[in-house]
Amino acid sequence: MASMSLKRVFDISAAAIGLAVLSPVFAILAAGGALHFRGNPFHLAHRVGKDGESFQMIKFKSMRDGTENDGSRTTGYGRFLRSTAMDELPQLFNILNGDMSFVGPRPREQIEHGDDRIPPSHRDILSVRPGLTGPWQVAAIGLKAPMPSEKRLDLDAAYARDTPSLGKDIKLILKTIPAFIKGHDGEYLGKPKDPMTP
């Protein structure tokens, strides 16, 4: 319980500091998105979080209005946001609100969607808050092809079952930062490796 409380204190503090420091970038991206898409620069995606509770994950819009996962709707501006991971910046508000954590399993789509159903053997994923980054994102660094969904679930479930550790979370965050600085497309982030090894 103490570790979980410390994790939440870290999430709130880091998210608040991040929003304060990055507020000029946030304002520029919001204005740029509003001009580019001629309207609301934000995209709300329905996700399932801790204990199966639904929430709306906030991202900067990177696609034209339409089917969320239709890659053909991604614009040049949207590809820039994704390559720098800046489309994820508004999720700091989700962290402040308690919907997400800095580190945790990938936020899942609505469970009733058959293509994103969580098998009973991996339901531990729903015992913790989903994360802005997490074990499979770090493990995917260097992959030249998408990581199989079963492997992603295995890594996320293992994280959820593990004893909470702020030290491990910070290690995962530090390993994620270089990929963001270098640029990525959300799938192929570097050489595959154990996310908890140095």
In three-state form (DSSP H/G/I as H, E/B as E, the rest C), the secondary structure along the chain is CHHHHHHHHHHHHHHHHHHHHCHHHHHHHHHHHHHHHCCCCEEEEEEECHHHCEEEEEEECCECCCCCCCHHHECHHHHHHHHCCHHHCCHHHHHHHCCCEEECCCCECCCCCHHHCCCHHHHHHHHCCCEEECHHHHHCCCCCCCCCHHHHHHHHHHHHHCCCCHHHHHHHHHHHHHHHHHCCCCCCCCCCCCCCCC
Q: Which amino acid is at 168?
A: K
CA gap 116, 47 in Å, rounded: 11
- Average of pLDDT values for 56-65? 89
Q: Confidence class of residue 91 from pLDDT cuts 50, 70 and 90?
A: very high
Q: Confidence class of residue 137 from pLDDT cuts 50, 70 and 90?
A: confident
CA gap 193, 86 in Å, rounded: 25
Cα separations (Å) of 49 from 19, 27, 44, 53, 60? 22, 27, 14, 5, 20
The pLDDT value given to residue 111 = 54
Residues in the chain: 198
Highest mean pLDDT among 28-42, 128-142, 174-188: 28-42
pLDDT of residue 87 exceeding 50:
yes
Closest C-alpha to 89, from 105, 102, 75? 102
Closest C-alpha to 134, from 184, 196, 49, 191? 196
- Name the residue with higher pLDDT: 11 or 110: 11
The pLDDT value given to residue 180 = 63
Structure tokens at 189: 């982030």
The pLDDT value given to residue 4 = 56
The average confidence (pLDDT) of the chain is 82
